[in-house]
Structure 1
Amino acid sequence: MSPSAAVILGSAPESFPYSVLAERHPAIIGQVREAFPYGPEQHRALDALLAGCTEGVIEPLPDGAWGEWGIDDHVGQSWFDVPWLWSESYFYRRLLDAVGYFGDGPWRGIDPFRPSKLAELDSQETDQELAALDELASRTAEEQGAALLHGSLWGNRADLGFRLSDGEAERRDAVPDLVADDSDRLWSLLDGTGTLCLIADNAGRELIPDLLLLAHLLEHGRIERAVLHVKPYPYYVSDATTADVVDALRRLVRAPGRAAEYGRRLWDAMADGRLSVRAHAFSCAPLPYADMPDDLRAEIGGAALTVLKGDLNYRRLVGDRWWAPTTSFAEVTAYFPGPVAALRTLKSDVITGLDDRTEAALVEAEGQRWRTSGTHALIQVRP
């Protein structure tokens, strides 16, 4: 369908995008500055980025980067006056430049977000979530699959037995946590044939449930092969890279109980090709998936199902626009080359595919906060 909703900008004071640009990004610069013993060069570059991202304009990137992604159209504009998706992505690219990630010096390839990712993996909360796998082993394959799907959906908000003890809770809630649920349709597409593409979101405690879900689908013959798409370099604080996949697998393998069995099955699946990792450059593009290049379109088009995880991927899937919440999810994703599913907790304003009753209940109970609070989620599928 032709876009009929305005692109989201960060220029409106007191809006959620404005707060990200004006408050969250400066805070992230401070966190990165403290995470490593950077030298004077990096500190000067971080100072310049701090000033630029709040008061400056879009500037060219080193070596002409992002020419194919529209940077020439935005150079000289305020960060607040370009599409929010674009300016957010540009911030993280500039942050990596500031700390020397792409340079020739000693900081080349050093992930500025790695300390926080590893801290999540080594936390007591992760221990507790992995221990839940032992209890889950007594459930049927269908119940295990449902729990692991919800674990992947909610990430670090849920243990792996999420809601199995009260499966009717969602139906009773006037304002459900799960605002759209196409999980039955999702399972119907996993019929044991073909490849599942999973486009990952965050590393750490949110990547582990994604890997556990893939292990379950492979073990029980729901799919023949899985391709896990991650970022080719650090992005959006905690987005998963290949190094994060390796860290998560190591964490599983060395864990006690059932978690280690999952880890070993995933390790073996990597070795025999049933599970592979892909890090396409477009994964870090400041653009919607409607603009994906031909090679990625062909790869995804050959999958039995592509699952996109998380809020950023949802924005890129449907377009980062002020859609009416009842806009058809199927229509805005009609361009996507093959069956597609979105698993997402709501952390930004973009939403499609709600029914009138659900939208009205959310607005009555919470105003517009439900869009960004992270307390609601959705499973949406377009076959």
Structure 2
Amino acid sequence: MMAADQTVHGVPPSLSAKVVGSFAYLTVRDRLPTILTKVIDTIHRNKNKFFEEYGEEGIQAEKQTIGLLSKMRNELQTDKPVIPLTDSLQDAECWNQYLQKHQKLHGDQESVSWFKSPWLYVECYMYRRIHEALWLNPPISDYDVFNEGKTQSFFESQQAVMTICTHLEGVNSNIENLSKNQLFEHFNKLLQVSLWGNKCDLSISAGQDNSQKTSPIDSLVSLQPLILVNDSNTIWSTLISAQTHARSEKTTVRVDIVLDNAGFELVTDLVLADFLVSSGLAHEVHFHGKSIPWFVSDVTAHDFQWTIQQTMAANHKCMSKIGYQWKSHLKDGVWSYHDHPFWTAP
């Protein structure tokens, strides 16, 4: 824990919007208000839906939620101090304690504001406040304001999803006959596809369409020079030695995947996880998602289940077959999904 303008043990100061022209500044000045405005518009556009489902109560909840979000947007744009959460959710105290620590470090409340505080903290805080605004207004408390964008992103990447599912089906059908080198080649390819799935992040594009339009396999060679750090050889040798150890000790190899974005990126994670269990490199895969809607396109439990359902229901032989395979991985406990407040903490 450190103040934004001091350096401790060689750790550089946190990035904040104090530096005009920096990524942090452009994020707080432009990107966050754009995301908030889209959230307000989405809630307003769904006014009729809320009325159909909940009657007058739904309309009231919509108005009050928009009121709270508009107030936050104003606080953000005028660099007001960050304020405590007022809901009774289990993580509220943790968020408020974190804010108090920051205030103590700076000696006053005014300096913990939208532009002066660490950018990553205020961006996380914005998503938590969006959740608070909805939570305080039943019956629309469970409404995911980012669901439309995530759904659209999945459907707009259909061609790429079909390509990757067809590729996986081809690999799986011949997996028994692959040499160790061939297995490594496929592992490397699918690991890179999973890496580049991150290009479909909707928070970076402030919700603009960012779906995967081209073949994820064909673009790997041209993207290779853009990988900054590559530890895939280490991962491979770790998996191989874990596999050897598991055979002799009769234990299982478990791989954990911390999920990021829904849509195409989630499909690439599922494809990689499928390959890991089909090839015997892992016996079980644990996925970790977010417990609340987060950073526009992050995976929630609903997104995870929905994506598998959509893959099963696809009008495409390989895609549908792979979807059913994923469903049975979950049913058999080979795959499991978890969320924990840790991933959405301050």
TM-score (norm 2): 0.73
Distance 1:153 1:62, change over 3 A: same
Question: Structure 2: how far apart are the matches of 1:21 and 1:170?
Answer: 30
Question: Structure 2: how far apart are the matches of 1:104 and 1:66?
Answer: 16
Distance 1:67 1:10, change over 3 A: farther
1:265 matched to 2:325? The reply is yes
Aligned to 1:119: 152
Q: Deviations over 1:149-190 (max 9, x none)?
A: 1111011456341456x5xx677xxxx211222211111122
> Does the CA-based 8 Å contact 2:166-2:318 persist in structure 1?
yes
TM-score (norm 1): 0.67
Question: Structure 2: how far apart are the matches of 1:135 and 1:231?
Answer: 29
Aligned to 1:23: 30
> Does the CA-based 8 Å contact 2:16-2:24 persist in structure 1?
yes
Aligned to 1:105: 138
> Does the CA-based 8 Å contact 1:136-1:144 persist in structure 2?
no
> Does the CA-based 8 Å contact 2:168-2:271 persist in structure 1?
no
Question: Structure 1: how far apart are the matches of 2:9 and 2:288?
Answer: 28
Aligned-residue identity in percent: 26
Question: Structure 2: how far apart are the matches of 1:135 and 1:68?
Answer: 45
Which secondary structure does the structure 1 equivalent of 2:228 belong to?
Answer: strand
What is the Cα-based RMSD across aligned positions, in Å? 2.3
1:231 matched to 2:290? The reply is yes
Aligned residue identity for 2:86? P
Q: How far apart are residue 25 of structure 1 and its match?
A: 1.0
> Does the CA-based 8 Å contact 2:131-2:292 persist in structure 1?
no
> Does the CA-based 8 Å contact 2:165-2:271 persist in structure 1?
no
1:57 pairs with one of 73, 81, 93: 81
Q: Deviations over 1:92-112 (max 9, x none)?
A: 1112223x1x23512111100
Aligned to 1:185: 234
Question: Structure 1: how far apart are the matches of 2:164 and 2:282?
Answer: 24
Distance 1:84 1:244, change over 3 A: same
Question: Structure 2: how far apart are the matches of 1:136 and 1:197?
Answer: 20
Question: Structure 2: how far apart are the matches of 1:162 and 1:186?
Answer: 23
Question: 5+ residue gaps in structure 1?
Answer: 287-383
Aligned residue identity for 1:103? L
Distance 1:260 1:145, change over 3 A: farther
Which secondary structure does the structure 2 equivalent of 1:262 belong to?
Answer: helix
Aligned residue identity for 1:218? V
1:278 matched to 2:338? The reply is yes
> Does the CA-based 8 Å contact 1:147-1:160 persist in structure 2?
no
Q: Deviations over 1:247-298 (max 9, x none)?
A: 1111221221322232222211111111111101111012xxxxxxxxxxxx
Question: Structure 2: how far apart are the matches of 1:122 and 1:83?
Answer: 35
Question: Structure 2: how far apart are the matches of 1:135 and 1:109?
Answer: 37
Aligned residue identity for 1:217? L
> Does the CA-based 8 Å contact 1:199-1:228 persist in structure 2?
yes
Aligned to 2:215: 159
Question: 5+ residue gaps in structure 2?
Answer: 1-7, 48-61, 104-108, 172-181, 201-211, 244-251
Question: Structure 2: how far apart are the matches of 1:277 and 1:138?
Answer: 26
1:71 matched to 2:130? The reply is no
1:33 matched to 2:40? The reply is yes
Distance 1:142 1:264, change over 3 A: farther
Distance 1:170 1:109, change over 3 A: closer
Which secondary structure does the structure 2 equivalent of 1:197 belong to?
Answer: strand
Q: Which has the higher helix share?
A: 2
Aligned residue identity for 1:210? D
Distance 1:60 1:138, change over 3 A: closer
Which secondary structure does the structure 2 equivalent of 1:198 belong to?
Answer: strand
Aligned residue identity for 2:143? I
Aligned to 2:161: 129
Question: Structure 2: how far apart are the matches of 1:91 and 1:104?
Answer: 17
Which secondary structure does the structure 1 equivalent of 2:161 belong to?
Answer: helix
Between 192-201 and 23-32, report the one with greater CA deviation: 192-201
